[in-house]
Amino acid sequence: MQALAIRGLTKTYRNGVVALRGIDLEVAEGDFFALLGPNGAGKTTTIGVVMSLVTKSGGSVSVFGHDIDRELDRAKSCIGLVPQEINFNNFEKVYTIVVNQAGFYGIPRRLARERTERYLRQLQLWDRRHEIARALSGGMKRRLMIARALVHEPRLLILDEPTAGVDIEIRRSMWSFLREINAAGTTIILTTHYLEEAESLCRHIAIIDGGRIIENDSMAAVIRKLHQESFVLNLRHPVTAAPQLPGYAARLTDDHTLEVDVARGQGLNDIFARLTSAGIEVASMRNKVNRLEELFMRLVENRGAAAGGS
């Protein structure tokens, strides 16, 4: 079954801004799905329509087979949302926020209390349960929104930029938590600016730009579309000129750093062999940019160029 099926979704705001120009998207049950796009591409509008926070202009949306025009309440019951902006009452206590949200989804009070404890513990917020939400740090507020979204145990969890402004340690622990709940059967849709996050977590990806889907495939297939990657090699000893590496484009950015472009199908062994024979020792190596980021930029830039030329 499709966790989410969107067909021909359009949205034009009252001020005339066209946010969505016919989105088609399917997310399979159990998937971990990334929805990427630059600012203003239409990600949050798409999520807003699915959650009925934004009224669509056209098209259809169904969640686990429940069409939002005919069975909106059933569709909503299946979804948990972690929005981009903080949207809980800052003057309420952490515990109250989560337990009340369970109530809004029809979870009886006793069960709501049990689940609130479970999710606040899992997200390391149990010790802060009696504090008003305003007193929490930015990372804690994000985790509180995740606990709130999970308390009715939705089949589909939508996270809109969940790790924005969160330090790397907490981000990693959130990733591990999200992997766990996905492994337990919850379908997850994630929008993020951290493309490393999408590449690390998600199995499928859609890229949205200018209100249209411009890429929609498995993460592996999308990564395979990269024709070239750049590697940064840190050299043990300084060199004065870039070594000769036939078949590769290499450049020296400073006397300890060599950048090499590697086309798809080329290996790295040849580079190391030639450097070794030239007496150059490599201390460490990394990707110049995140692979997905490179592809993302190329797709968006290509679209921009096509739009500019038309």
Please report, as ranges, the residues that interact with another protein according to CB under 8 A: 13, 48, 51-55, 72-74, 76-77, 79, 81, 83, 85-91, 96, 100-101, 103-109, 148
Alpha-helical (H) ranges within the chain are: 43-50, 72-77, 94-104, 109-122, 138-150, 168-183, 195-201, 219-224, 269-277, 291-309
Instruction: Name the minimum Å distance from CB 29 to another protein.
Output: 16
Distance of CA 147 to the CA centre of its chain: 18
- Smallest distance from another protein to CB 41, Å: 16
Q: C-beta of 94: minimal distance to another protein in Å? A: 14
110 or 286, CB closer to another protein? 110
CB-wise, 97 or 299, nearer to another protein? 97
CB of 148 to another protein, least distance (A): 8
Cα–Cα distance, 151 to 240 (Å, whole number): 60
Closest CA to 156 of 71, 51, 70, 67: 51
Q: How far apart are CA 231 and CA 259, in angstroms?
A: 6
Structure tokens at 237: 């000893």
For another protein, the closer CB: 71 or 196: 71
C-beta of 270: minimal distance to another protein in Å?
A: 55
- Under 8 Å CB-to-CB from 267, ≥6 apart: which residues? none
What are the structure tokens assigned to 298, written together?
């190329």
Helix (H) or strand (E) segment spanning residue 209: strand 204-209
